Amino acid sequence: MRNRQKWLLIVTGVGLSAPWAVAAERSPNGVNLAGMDGWDIVLAEDAIPSEQYAAEELQTFMAQCGRKLAIVKDASRPDAHIFVGAGKAMQAAKVGFSVEGYGPEDLRIVIRDNSIAIAGGRPRGTLYGVYVFLEDYVGVRFLTADHTYTPPIGEWRVVGPVDRSYHPELRFRWSYYGETNSNPVFAARRRCNTTTEDVKLGGKTGFGLISHSFGAQIPSAKYGKEHPEYFAMIDGKRLVPASGNDWAETEPCLTNPDVLKIVTEAVLAELKANPNRENISVSQNDNDKHCRCPGCKAIDDREGTPMGSLLTFVNAVADEVAKQYPNVKVGTLSYWYTRKPPRTIKPRPNVQIQLCSIECCVMHPITDPKCPKNVEFCQDMDNWGKICPDISVWNYNTNFSNYLLPCPNLRVIEPNIRYFVGHSAKGIFMQAGGDARGAEISDLRNYLMSGLLWDPNRSGQQLVNEFLDLHYGKAAEPIRGFLALTHHNAAAKNLHRNCFGQAKDYGIDEAIAKAGLDAFAEAMKLADDDIIRARVEKASICAWRAAIEPCWYASEGKLDAALAERMRPMVKTLFELCAKHGVTMTNEGRAVGDTLKHLKKVFGIPESGNL
């Protein structure tokens, strides 16, 4: 994998237990974080809001680690400063440097000679640089929205000398969980650059998610009645449902010149209304109702894929966009029936392709040669890479049919992200329970995904262990054991399943469910306090959901009496835990309350009754 990190010089000691601590202790050029009495934080005099906030974040977390530092704008003495942002004082200091030419998230950290400088490109480079400094040199860990681990600095911790520059591999990073989407401050700390316009937090990347767009750009509800010829022909008939639903909305006829004009005008109008946009979607709806009229079919037959007519259309829109917005990319999905690239048609230079892995097995790495679906995806990505230099990936990382069930796919996240980055992906959307809170071990998964999106060279297993140990303390071991069991079990059964399935599809049976309940019961005994116990409770929801699989799909009034008696108290516990810990959805599109109503009917309980 290409590594665009620039490691200029790093010699870091993080305590006397580190093997290099003695060398660091003797170094006259490092900085002893424990000896920062009288230091201050020098904020650039022209700081933008995100740089001001970066200084405040640094001040807050350094104080929690035991070092109180004032924020000033005047460096009246030669050293004992942490410079935040590339102001005049920083650039004049012995640790100074210029950020000219830096990208919006590029950063540099210099630690030496009793001074520290942290600065980067605007708007997010300096803020992200502060978070990197806190994590990599102070030991802070941003675990969840309400749990940041801040270790005491103690009496001796030398870091440096350090001169480190970092250019993120990915310009678009989204760990798609409700916990991220509803907590923009936490999202910024995890360096997910897709969730907020708040300038204090650095705002969003200008590159948006490439997604379904035709339903909005040429809605059949508006045009279908008078112009059925604008829409897909299938079996000789034009389909024009005026539903407004992306799953039901028919595709446009891509060889109709009026359709091209309407969509192009919609795209140009959207760009005019959003001058900061760096890309825009021109893409299929979420269905397979693509046009088979003679014109569209001729192109698709020649190119060997329905992407033929779609890319021809997208290229034509992109040509018009380039005339008015030469720096804007036009993106389209390579999804479902359009994932295979065309034989001869190539994307214009200002066209992006976003591949979607929805058919792939989630329990084996994307590169596993024994997974036919995964092999096909890699072939398509390789072929797209030969004709398009601007690729993004829409990757699926949950069980959309059952948000709360254990899903043994933690081990594939690291190799998958590395594969995508190694094949020139510039953005990755890790889709999970983004419309929910409290999906299966979502806090751990979010930490793992966002960490690897920021730095694909990290160890996924190390991130998992770090989270478990810091978030659950002594209770971590049985939870770790249960996660290992579900993954070992799925591997032993050599299961292949995509992101939709029941418990059996992922190797989850009653024995695994019981092992999960036992593991979390043990974790509760080991928890040190009520805060840890609450975290364990939230994580245990996946085991309770697995335990009630025998009644989950039962029809109303059809549940065996003996099974109902055994299941009912576990169902009660599950939904009590969901209510207590703010769990909102049981699958994509179905709220916890709706599922509870259904299960009450299964058990023959009135809607107003109790389990």
Contact (CB, 8 A) for 134 and 41 = no
Q: Say what the pLDDT of residue 9 is.
A: 34
Measured CA angle at 528 (ends 527, 533), to 5 deg: 45
Angle between helices 510-526 and 530-547 (to 10 degrees): 170
Angle between helices 530-547 and 460-472 (to 10 degrees): 120
Q: Say what the pLDDT of residue 517 is.
A: 98
Paired tokens of 370: 């024994």
Q: Say what the pLDDT of residue 12 is.
A: 37
pTM over 0.95: no
Class of domain 6-167: alpha beta
311/328 Cα distance (integer angstroms): 17
Q: What is the CA radius of gyration of the chain?
A: 27
Q: State phi, psi for 500 to the nearest 5 degrees.
A: -135, 125
Question: Any idea which residue has 């993106």 for tokens?
Answer: 331
- Which segments of 218-371 does DSSP mark as H helices, in order? 220-223, 257-273, 294-303, 307-324
Q: Say what the pLDDT of residue 386 is.
A: 96
Q: Say what the pLDDT of residue 247 is.
A: 60
Nearest to 540 by CA among 489, 483, 484, 590: 483
Q: Say what the pLDDT of residue 240 is.
A: 79
Q: Say what the pLDDT of residue 3 is.
A: 40
373/610 Cα distance (integer angstroms): 45
Give the residue extent of every domain in the chain: 6-167, 214-457, 472-602
201/167 Cα distance (integer angstroms): 19
- State how beta strands 40-43 and 70-72 pair: parallel
CATH: 2.60.40, 3.30.70, 3.20.20, 2.50.20. Which one for 214-457? Answer: 3.20.20
Q: In a 3-state reduction of DSSP, which class is residue 233?
A: strand
Contact (CB, 8 A) for 464 and 444 = yes
Residues 6+ apart with CB under 8 A from 271: 277, 280, 321, 324, 325, 328
Q: Say what the pLDDT of residue 21 is.
A: 37
- The DSSP element (H or E) to which 1 belongs, if any, is none
**What are the average pLDDT values for consecutive 10-residue runs of the chain, which has 611 residues?**
37 34 50 93 97 98 96 90 96 95 98 96 98 97 98 88 97 97 97 97 96 94 92 92 64 97 98 95 94 98 98 98 98 97 98 97 95 94 96 96 97 98 96 95 98 97 98 98 98 95 97 98 98 98 98 89 95 97 96 96 89 86
Domains 6-167 and 214-457 share a fold: no
Residues 6+ apart with CB under 8 A from 316: 260, 264
Q: Say what the pLDDT of residue 607 is.
A: 85
